[in-house]
Amino acid sequence: MPTSDEIQRFLTGAWRLMMGRPDGLKLLDLSADGFWNSFYAIVLALPAMFVGWVGVANGFGDQAAELGGRGSLLLRLAFIDMAAWIAPLIVVGLLAKPIGIADRFVPFVVASNWGSAITSWMLAPVSILDVFFPSAVQISDSLSLVLFIAVLILIWRLTNASIGRGPGVASAVFALVLVVSIFLIVGLQDVLGLTPLIQPAG
């Protein structure tokens, strides 16, 4: 597990990449241990993600009982988010050699993991609004749109800086991750029985 000083350095490195500065990679641990330790970013993101799950669960109301109760609902939402975090990285790994980024896969994964921890907390204000001010739908929707666009821009910059193959390749990898994430989320919602219920909660 990374130390607190290392975590701060890794997050700083990821943020610099999000600002379009490739020198952020120098602050990341790109060794084999650094690769696996970067998944500790999920632990850092969990509190922010949990608030989001609670907000969605609250939107179900009494319908949560149809899914086995609130605890079961939260577990399903957590599973979807974890799958949407990890599975796209696996897909990129499988395609890394064919698309010519095999030597950039580790930097991309390490940067993406720490960057995802940052974006999870960036989106937390929307979740907080949903949990504590459920009637402020217009404010929440507007803030969600602004933050979502900002997150997409930051992730693209991070992808471009960490892969270092130019905007074209970065855009292709960015699109691949986004498409896999969306299809996975939609598919798992259907498989886990959330599709008819999750839409009104948004």
pLDDT one-digit tens code per residue, 142-170: 998 999 999 999 999 999 999 999 999 99
Read off the pLDDT of each residue in 91-115 and give the average, rounded to a whole number: 96
CA distance 22 to 127: 31
pLDDT at 184 over 90: yes
Listed in sequence order, the residues at least 6 apart from 107 whose beta carbon sits closer than 8 Å to its beta carbon are 25, 28, 30, 162, 163, 164
Listed in sequence order, the residues at least 6 apart from 44 whose beta carbon sits closer than 8 Å to its beta carbon are 7, 117, 120
Per-residue pLDDT, 136? 79
pLDDT at 200 over 60: no
Per-residue pLDDT, 48? 95
Per-residue pLDDT, 59? 74
Confidence of residue 124 (pLDDT cuts 50, 70, 90): very high
Listed in sequence order, the residues at least 6 apart from 61 whose beta carbon sits closer than 8 Å to its beta carbon are none
Q: Dihedral through CA 49, CA 53, CA 54, CA 57, nearest 10?
A: 170
pLDDT at 140 over 90: no
3 state DSSP class of 69: coil
